[in-house]
A = this chain, B = another copy of it.
Amino acid sequence: MRKHITGFSNPTVKYLRSLRDKKHRKRAGQFLVEGLRLLEDARVSGRVPQTLVMAEGREHPLLAPLEAAVIAAGGEVIATTPDILSKITGKENAQSVAGVFDEWDTSLARLDRKAAPIWLVAQALRDPGNLGTMLRTCDAVGAGGLILIDDCADPFSAEAVRASMGAVFTVGLAQARWEEFLPWLRGGEGQLVAASLRDAVPYRGADYRAPCFILVGNESQGLPEDYEMACDLRVTMPMRGRADSLNAAVAGAVLAYEVLAGIEGQS
């Protein structure tokens, strides 16, 4: 059963719109995902939206299984006009569909560190595009997921979800303060590695050990010195230019591919 909404001032429309704002997302514990491809990625990964919002007249063959999955899970399907969907998503050329998901538990305790040889750890990462890109890299290198330390961008923002290309639904995700993360890490196996200029060895061929946690710092400040000094291994990457830094998501990916090669070489 589809519910039809035709009025811009409908309270559901207002609620869905409000999810573009972080404050409202956190209060509601829900987030909005636009586009059939992302919703399909979510469905295949076992995550079905609570609410599906479809623009009538723009229906795609893949919408039918999605709609069925939402109804089977007890969710709600809303049919509306393309204009109202545009208003909800804030995009002039709206996708044909959007879904509302419950945010899930992102506590460290939910991660199984032995599930993967590599984990990415980002500290105070401010840019949602970088955050999503790191989730996508996690998928590509077979990492367990991304651990967000201290105050990071919201992984459930539209920009982060989009940049993740759906990996937000498929790889692990945790959020913690450094003061929680470090005892959690030291409570089990795990090598903490950072790119650093302090007392570091070349990143290429360094002695990486699984599970390897690759720590990347804030876009403009880098890592605090005490965070770097808490690492088991500090590595340097060649910097041949005028600046001595890389984009945070790029640095994480170059390291992750090097760690992957190192760990697989051991086995």
Footprint of B on A, CB under 8 Å? 41, 44-45, 129, 133, 136-142, 163, 165-167, 170-171, 204, 237-247, 249-250, 253-254, 257-258, 260-261
Contacts and interface: CB of A to CB of B under 8 A. Distances in A.
B246 A247 contact: no
A170 B243 CA distance: 10
A47 to B, nearest CB: 13
Residue in A45, A166, A250, A253 with the greatest tally of chain B CB atoms within 10 Å: A250
B142 A240 contact: yes
Contacts of A141: 238, 240-241
Instruction: Give the oligomeric copy count.
Output: 2
Contacts of A170: 241-242
Contacts of A257: 237-238, 254, 258
23 contacts: A44-B242, A129-B129, A136-B243, A136-B245, A137-B250, A139-B240, A140-B239, A140-B240, A140-B243, A140-B244, A140-B245, A140-B246, A141-B238, A141-B240, A166-B243, A167-B243, A170-B242, A237-B257, A238-B260, A240-B260, A247-B249, A249-B249, A253-B254
